[in-house]
């Protein structure tokens, strides 16, 4: 049986869950990034469009030409950029949390497998 014990060494076997990741390489990760990029795009679009439309409306009330339209667009861009930065910060923080949880689970699983392997080795002796 000692010959079989060497081939059952968990350090030589690949972890079936090791290839699972949260980043761009996983299906869930890809959809999370697509959702994030969609949220960023919508945030920028709504802020820019809202600022431009508000500026255009005020220009129509005051009869001041396209000056406030441009100002509204620029303010909308700044507001959209701040909103997009907040979205990115929250998403990156969440992705890091998920990666840390995944790493902790894999470490616990490997420790458990190593303990089981060591106890089997002791029983064989």
In the chain, domain spans: 27-124
Mean pLDDT over 74-86 rounds to: 95
Cα distance between residue 17 and residue 83, in whole Å: 36
Cα distance between residue 124 and residue 48, in whole Å: 71
Q: Which residue has the higher pLDDT, 89 or 13?
A: 89
pTM score above 0.85: no
Please give the pLDDT value at position 125.
72
**Rounded alpha-carbon distances, angstroms, from residue 86 to 22, 23, 59, 89:** 20, 19, 31, 5
9-60: pLDDT as tens digits: 545 445 555 445 545 545 556 787 888 899 999 999 999 999 999 999 999 8
Instruction: Tally the residues of the chain.
Output: 125
């Amino acid at each position: 049986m000692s010959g079989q014990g060497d081939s059952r060494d968990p350090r030589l076997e690949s972890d079936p869950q090791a290839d699972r990741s949260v980043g761009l390489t996983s299906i869930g990760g890809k959809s999370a990034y697509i959702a994030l990029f969609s949220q960023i795009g919508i945030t920028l679009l709504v802020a820019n469009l809202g600022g431009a439309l508000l500026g255009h409306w005020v220009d129509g009330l005051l009869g001041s030409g396209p000056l406030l339209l441009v100002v509204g667009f620029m303010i909308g861009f700044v507001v959209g950029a701040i909103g997009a930065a907040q979205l990115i910060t929250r998403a990156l923080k969440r992705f890091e949390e998920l990666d840390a949880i995944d790493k902790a689970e894999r470490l616990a699983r490997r420790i458990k497998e190593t303990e089981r392997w060591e106890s089997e080795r002791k029983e064989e002796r």
